[in-house]
Every structure is written in structure tokens, then in C-alpha cells.
């Protein structure tokens, strides 16, 4: 399996709009086992995303899905910066 944990810094006051975009387009993403978007309780502008995929190729292919590509394009103006980005190798657990 292939995992990603990362954070985004929204422009001030835009976090909820960014979250709505990121969660609104979630649908058929072949190979995606888990996609979780979360607010950072200590920073009003930070969003965390945790993903689990069958493999890195599935994740890369998802970026070409028209609805995902459109969401990324719409989200970019709301993003002030990118924070932590960590690739993981999930080995099991509840929900995957």
C-alpha cells in the first residue's frame, strides 16, 4: 500500500471553502482505500489530508480524473502554502 499525510495552509478565512472543495469531489477514485480531510484544531488556516492507496500508481492516476483535476485547479487560489508532506507504507489497521 501507499500512503500520504500532508498539510495545506489556506489563505486566511478560506479553510472551510478549501475543505468543501476537497471533500465535495470525492467519488470514484480507483485504488483509493481511504481519503480523510481534517481541520487542524490549533491553526485556523491549516488542513490535513491522510490518504491510503493500493499503490503509488493509483494515486498518480487519480490526478488525471477530470473531477479531481478540476478540484485541484479550483483549490489552488485558496492555498497559501504547502506544509508537511510524508509518504508512508500502510501495513494495516481499521478501515483499510
Question: 88 has which bridge partners?
Answer: 3
Give the C-alpha separation, 87 to 82, whole Å. 15
Burial track 29-55 (b if 16+ CB lie within 10 A, e otherwise) = bebbbebebeeeeeeebbbbbbbbbee
Does domain 2-88 match CATH 3.30.70.100? yes
Radius of gyration of the chain (CA): 13
Domain locations in the chain? 2-88
Q: Is the entire prediction scored with pTM above 0.85?
A: yes
Q: Which backbone phi and psi does 24 adopt, to 5 degrees?
A: -75, -25
29-74 pLDDT per residue, tens:
999 999 999 999 999 999 999 999 999 999 999 999 999 999 999 9
What does the pLDDT average to over 11-40? Answer: 93
Amino acid at each position: 500500500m501507499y500512503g500520504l499525510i500532508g498539510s495545506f495552509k489556506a489563505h486566511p478565512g478560506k479553510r472551510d471553502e478549501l475543505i468543501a472543495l476537497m471533500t465535495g469531489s470525492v467519488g470514484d477514485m480507483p485504488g483509493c482505500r481511504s481519503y480523510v480531510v481534517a481541520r487542524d484544531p490549533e491553526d485556523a488556516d491549516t488542513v490535513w489530508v491522510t490518504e491510503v492507496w493500493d499503490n503509488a500508481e493509483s494515486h498518480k492516476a487519480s490526478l488525471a480524473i477530470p473531477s479531481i483535476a478540476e478540484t485541484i485547479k479550483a483549490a489552488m487560489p485558496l492555498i497559501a502554502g504547502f506544509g508537511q508532506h510524508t509518504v508512508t507504507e500502510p501495513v494495516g489497521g481499521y478501515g483499510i
